[in-house]
Amino acid sequence: MIQATNIKNLDVLRRLHLAGSRSLLDILLPKFSRIMGFLHRLLDRKGQSLTYVVYLLGILAIVRPHILSFTHWLRKYYTSTVYIQSSNETYDMLTYWISSRGLEDAARSFIAKVNSNRRSPENTPRLAKKAIGFSPYNGGFCFWYKNKPLFYRVNEDGVGYNKREEVSVTCLGRSSHILKDLLQDCRDEYLNSTNHKTTIFGHHGAQWKKDRTKAIRPLSTVILREHEKAPLIQDIRDFLEPKTREWYNRRSLPYRRGYLLHGPPGTGKSSFSLSIAGELGMDIYTVSVPSVDDQSLSTLFRDLPENCVVLLEDIDAVGSVCPRDREEDDPLGESHPRGERKGVTLSGLLNVLDGIASQENRVLIMTTNHIEKLDKALIRPGRVDRRVEFPLADRDTIKEIYHYIFGPLMSASSRNPPGVEGDPLVEIHATDFAQRLPEERLSPAQIVSYLLQHRYSPKDALENIEAWIKAM
């Protein structure tokens, strides 16, 4: 059971905790001086005050180093601490737990950030423009967990670009069970909060970074020819079956399968990857190939968790040199003369795909707008086991997109205006709409975007087709 914060105890412990960081004496010394002043006045008449003061200061000077080393010893041998780096998801779990209870309010130094994911003060509307969030910074606070005091501390490590935030939680005693229990609770609560959601991770240099958590997008909302879509989904599901894994292991085959989604921009490749991750209850880790080099790609793959979807976008950018306008330092601190900064090389990507990091119950999806540019070695079976084309919209796709926007709701999320649901005219309008658009000339993204402009008026969507096509 988690006990609510006790303000009185908190105050005492916060002081003690501060004493840990500033030394107990720094706090006691001013109080001590006041007492000495009082004694001085009291004893002044007897002329002994100066002697007492000198004695006391002398004693203090002698015991001070001992008290300091005692507190250091106490901290070293009679407390346990868990350290968590901000680049790891455990950090999100812990901060979610802390923040959901408002425990961070006990911190005395904060960092304020606009658009941070952290809690804003109670009186700030949730969607307010430039809402300021606060999080503890360079300091700490104490809270109660299962009737035990724990100390939460934020530390910063490194300088400049390499600066990293790290939090630590300390408990009294040599057993770290309470810390493990806490992290388990944080994990459970965090996973509960992300149930029916997909967490999307991007990267910052060679480090994964959580981008956002989104409600699962049903696969039915990504429109693709059924004879391509259904077998692709089935193939991914089959691959993730435990018996498939066993089958691979028994035959000593590397347990991996790669998928290549190709087609023009805006045809649904990323949307499909996100949806399938949601359907499989996995998070998705995305890497845009043009934004990394061999070293960071390999580090990112090494740091992947198990059970996730990995999306490698724009793999046709492999081997291209990114010309730089000027000589500059890259974020990793290396200097690249103009034109010499390499992206991912073919051998770098092949190493990653063939390596152990591409296994471990991971679904590897690669996307490209230019399949014709890909090296044969990259897409040979074993690296790419299934290719699926995401084409420009044909008549059936256009019709389906119309249904998707104006037809009956497919999930609980409200998309259509009242009155449009179940409208028998939708079918007629969808056919009409599909017939008036050129086939295989527009991407689903273009059509979705046009229909969204007229989301409250299917009539307008039909009436403005010619003007829209002309404008394009």
Q: Which residues bind ligand ATP (CB under 6 A)?
A: 222-224, 265-271, 369, 390, 444-445, 448
Residue with tokens 């002044």: 44
Instruction: Give Cβ neighbours of residue 23 (< 8 Å, ≥ 6 apart).
Output: 68, 71
Q: How far apart (Å, rounded) are the C-alpha atoms in residues 121 and 105?
A: 10
Measured from the CB of residue 369, what is the shortest distance to ligand ATP in angstroms? 5
Pick 293 or 400: Cβ nearer ligand ATP:
400
Pick 170 or 273: Cβ nearer ligand ATP:
273
Measured from the CB of residue 288, what is the shortest distance to ligand ATP in angstroms? 9
Beta strands in 115-206 (DSSP E): 132-136, 140-145, 148-157, 164-172, 197-204
Dump the DSSP string for 53-103: HHHHHHHHHHHHHHHHHHHHHHHHHHEEEEEEETTSHHHHHHHHHHHHTTG
Measured from the CB of residue 435, what is the shortest distance to ligand ATP in angstroms? 20
Query: Which of 405, 420, 410, 418 is CA-nearest to residue 452?
Result: 405
3-state secondary structure of 380: coil
Measured from the CB of residue 276, what is the shortest distance to ligand ATP in angstroms? 12
3-state secondary structure of 240: helix
Pick 182 or 224: Cβ nearer ligand ATP:
224
Pick 136 or 444: Cβ nearer ligand ATP:
444
**Cα–Cα–Cα angle for 54, 70, 15, nearest 5°?**
85
Q: Name the residue type at position 230.
A: A
Residue in the shown chain whose Cβ atom is closest to ligand ATP: 268
Torsion of CA 456, 460, 466, 471, to 10 degrees: -50
DSSP letter (8 states) at residue 125: -
Pick 169 or 317: Cβ nearer ligand ATP:
317
Pick 150 or 447: Cβ nearer ligand ATP:
447
Q: Name the residue type at position 169.
A: V
CA distances from 94 to 57, 163, 285, 329 (A): 45, 20, 21, 34
Pick 95 or 271: Cβ nearer ligand ATP:
271
Query: Which of 189, 184, 97, 175 is CA-nearest to residue 143?
Result: 97
CA dihedral (332, 338, 340, 343) positive or negative: positive
Please state, as a whole number, how many other Cβ atoms lie within 10 Å of the Cβ of residue 1.
Answer: 5
Measured from the CB of residue 367, what is the shortest distance to ligand ATP in angstroms? 6
* Helices of type H across 368-457: 395-406, 425-436, 444-453
Pick 216 or 222: Cβ nearer ligand ATP:
222
Pick 222 or 366: Cβ nearer ligand ATP:
222
Largest CA distance in the chain: 110
Backbone angles phi, psi at 40, to 5 degrees: -60, -45
Pick 133 or 266: Cβ nearer ligand ATP:
266
Measured from the CB of residue 202, what is the shortest distance to ligand ATP in angstroms? 14
Pick 149 or 444: Cβ nearer ligand ATP:
444
DSSP letter (8 states) at residue 383: T
Q: How far apart (Å, rounded) are the C-alpha atoms in residues 444 and 430?
A: 14
Measured from the CB of residue 390, what is the shortest distance to ligand ATP in angstroms? 6
Pick 205 or 268: Cβ nearer ligand ATP:
268
Instruction: Give 329's strand partners.
Output: 335
Instruction: Give Cβ neighbours of residue 346 (< 8 Å, ≥ 6 apart).
Output: 318, 319, 375, 377, 378
Instruction: Give Cβ neighbours of residue 455 (< 8 Å, ≥ 6 apart).
Output: 405, 415, 416, 417
